């Protein structure tokens, strides 16, 4: 990738806080550096938002709320459709920017831009379908009228692993529903969100509807917003421990809450599965986004009769993947986000190996610059290996055996998380039995990819509350008002 293109894209990003439709310096003027995880070099500096900026952002969101709620739904939809188009027109630049700050290979970054933009297209179509109900009181006396209204100003907090899509999955339905918002992107990857805000401005978004405050002091900046009764909702994507803290803070003014939290996805391969498909899809379920995905297959539970073959074939596939800076031709595996994440992955592998696991491929960091870790397959996993319980968030596939369907389901459900599970079997009865028994919000049935703007994304148990995308996604931003009508 040529350096001139990188410089041009980095130069094109506004680096301020985005409040009331304007780009500003942070109050106090502080900035922070954004690092390229593949080179550990500084890419650029961005305004370091403060609590005062957060309150200014909420002032703007609050001031814009009534007019935005009254804007014709078709206009809100058309705005989303224009943004969808602009994102696609600029997909190459957005993808390059994302690869620079987050590390994922360019092709995957482009895929995320397309996927992220689709939420705007989907919710442009949903904006005009917000409806209510008129019915007769069961007793016949009077009528029942229900209507849906925007919940009001929202705080949207996003993680670094999908810097655009985790934002558009919230911004799209909030805009469609008629809510205004303050967005706090992850400190490692604010550039993609800043670029998106600029695109939304160009698409004609009224001032104050969207405000973006990048910062290195997340809790200092969001804390005052939870204390302010003008805020009516928080939607968060990130780790479960932070989600729990935010739910406590949200209790103060009883905010509407949407939580997309951590996962620990089991990937079940039964003896009757199409093994070619199971291996092929495992590469996607494990290696998409360098394994740094809440829906990444975290543990492979494979029937004992096919486990060795499955593991050997998966090791062969992962071992042939090209590791490198995501901007380079043919690279399939980029760096992890930072040193902390790489150490965590290494510790989980070392722990498993210390407890008897066998390294079939990989098992160590790569290179002396950037946070690379080799695609890894481990066999012979013991029951007490920590990576069976914790989210790995890296390119590591532990393969564990089972002998009965009951044992497989029990192992799959042995987690406080319940985001997604993958099931590979060619027996339809087994498929439906197992799908029904799994304690998760989503299942990939003979598929390693579930994310789709037209489908409800979300988890049960400690993986979260609420759904993003699909028919239900917009409901997270709407309140129901019931009117008892006397005729």
- Residues 266 to 295 in contact with ligand NAP, rule: CB under 6 A: 294
- Among candidate residues 101, 112, 126, 260, the one labeled active-site is 260
Number of residues that bind ligand NAP (CB under 6 A): 27
Three-state DSSP state, 96: helix
Stretch that binds ligand NAP, among 11-19, 70-78, 232-240, 428-436 (CB under 6 A): 232-240
Which position's Cβ is nearest ligand NAP? 238
Stretch that binds ligand NAP, among 112-120, 135-143, 154-162, 402-410 (CB under 6 A): 154-162
- Closest distance to ligand NAP from the beta carbon of 275 (Å): 28
* Helix axis angle, 240-250 to 218-227, nearest 10°: 30
- Closest distance to ligand NAP from the beta carbon of 218 (Å): 4
Q: Is 237 in the site for ligand NAP (CB under 6 A)?
A: yes
For residues 484 and 482, give the distance between their C-alpha atoms in angstroms, rounded to a whole number.
7
- Closest distance to ligand NAP from the beta carbon of 9 (Å): 22
- Among candidate residues 101, 118, 292, 294, the one labeled active-site is 294
- Closest distance to ligand NAP from the beta carbon of 157 (Å): 5
Closer residue to ligand NAP, CB minimum distance, 117 or 294: 294
Are the CB atoms for 208 and 64 separated by under 8 Å? yes
Quick one: which of 99, 222, 281, 289 contacts ligand NAP (CB under 6 A)? 222
Which residues lie below 8 Å from residue 332, measured CB to CB, with a gap of 6+? Answer: 105, 287, 321, 322, 323
Catalytic residue check, 294: yes
CA nearest 377: which of 442, 314, 291? 314
Q: Is 252 in the site for ligand NAP (CB under 6 A)?
A: no
Quick one: which of 263, 326, 362, 469 contacts ligand NAP (CB under 6 A)? 263
Kindly list the distances between the CA atom of residue 236 and the CA atoms of 18, 112, 317, in Å, as whole numbers in the listed order. 19, 19, 35
CA nearest 297: which of 275, 337, 264? 264
Closer residue to ligand NAP, CB minimum distance, 182 or 273: 182
Q: Is 157 in the site for ligand NAP (CB under 6 A)?
A: yes
For residues 470 and 463, give the distance between their C-alpha atoms in angstroms, rounded to a whole number.
18
For residues 164 and 21, give the distance between their C-alpha atoms in angstroms, rounded to a whole number.
19
CA nearest 39: which of 287, 396, 372? 372
- Closest distance to ligand NAP from the beta carbon of 248 (Å): 10
Which residues lie below 8 Å from residue 432, measured CB to CB, with a gap of 6+? Answer: none
> Hey, which bits of 96-212 come out as E strands?
133-136, 143-150, 154-157, 181-184, 210-212
- Closest distance to ligand NAP from the beta carbon of 166 (Å): 6
Quick one: which of 9, 419, 443, 478 contacts ligand NAP (CB under 6 A)? 419
Residues that bind ligand NAP (CB under 6 A): 157-162, 166, 184, 186-187, 218-219, 222, 237-239, 242, 245, 260-263, 294, 391, 419, 459, 464
């Amino acid at each position: 990738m040529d350096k001139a293109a990188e410089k041009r894209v980095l130069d094109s990003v506004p680096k301020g806080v985005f409040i009331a439709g304007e780009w500003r310096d942070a109050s106090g003027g502080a900035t922070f550096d954004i690092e390229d995880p593949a080179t550990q070099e500084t890419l650029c500096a961005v305004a370091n938002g403060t609590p005062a900026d957060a309150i200014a952002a909420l002032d703007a969101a609050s001031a814009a709320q009534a007019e935005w709620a009254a804007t014709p739904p078709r206009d809100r939809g058309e705005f989303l459709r224009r943004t969808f188009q602009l994102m696609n027109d600029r997909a190459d630049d957005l993808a390059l920017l994302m690869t620079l700050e987050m590390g994922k290979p360019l092709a995957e970054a482009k895929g995320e831009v397309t996927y992220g933009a689709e939420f705007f297209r989907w919710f442009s179509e949903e904006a005009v379908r917000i409806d209510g109900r008129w019915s007769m009181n069961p007793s016949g006396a009077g009528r029942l009228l229900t209507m849906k209204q925007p919940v009001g100003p929202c705080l949207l907090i996003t993680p670094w692993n999908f810097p655009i899509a985790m934002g558009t999955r919230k911004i799209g339905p909030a805009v469609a529903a008629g809510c205004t918002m303050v967005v706090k992107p992850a400190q490692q990857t604010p550039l993609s969100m800043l670029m998106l805000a600029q695109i939304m401005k160009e698409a004609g978004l009224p001032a104050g509807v969207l405000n973006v405050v990048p910062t290195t002091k997340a809790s200092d900046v969001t804390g005052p917003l939870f204390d302010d009764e003008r805020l009516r909702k928080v939607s968060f994507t990130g780790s479960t421990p932070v989600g729990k803290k935010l739910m406590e803070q949200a209790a103060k003014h009883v905010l509407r809450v949407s939580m997309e939290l951590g996962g620990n996805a089991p990937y079940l391969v039964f003896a009757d599965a199409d093994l070619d498909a199971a291996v092929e899809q495992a590469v996607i379920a494990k290696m998409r986004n360098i394994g740094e995905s809440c829906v990444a297959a975290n543990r492979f539970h494979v029937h004992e009769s096919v486990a060795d073959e499955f593991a050997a074939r998966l090791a062969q596939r992962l071992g042939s993947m090209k590791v490198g800076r995501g901007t380079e031709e043919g690279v399939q595996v980029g760096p992890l986000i930072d040193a902390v994440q790489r150490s965590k992955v290494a510790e989980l592998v070392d722990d498993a190996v210390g407890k008897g696991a066998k390294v079939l491929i990989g098992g160590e960091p790569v290179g002396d610059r950037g946070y690379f870790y080799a695609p890894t397959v481990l066999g012979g996993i013991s029951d007490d290996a920590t990576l069976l319980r914790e989210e790995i968030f890296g390119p590591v596939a532990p393969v564990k055996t089972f002998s009965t369907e009951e044992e497989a389901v029990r192992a799959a459900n042995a987690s406080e998380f319940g985001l997604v599970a993958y099931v590979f079997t060619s027996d339809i009865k087994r498929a439906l039995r197992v799908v029904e028994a799994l304690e998760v919000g989503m299942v990939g049935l003979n598929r390693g990819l579930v994310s789709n703007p037209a489908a409800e994304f979300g988890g049960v148990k400690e993986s979260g509350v609420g759904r993003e995308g699909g028919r239900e996604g917009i409901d997270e931003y709407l309140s129901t008002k019931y009117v008892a009508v006397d005729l």
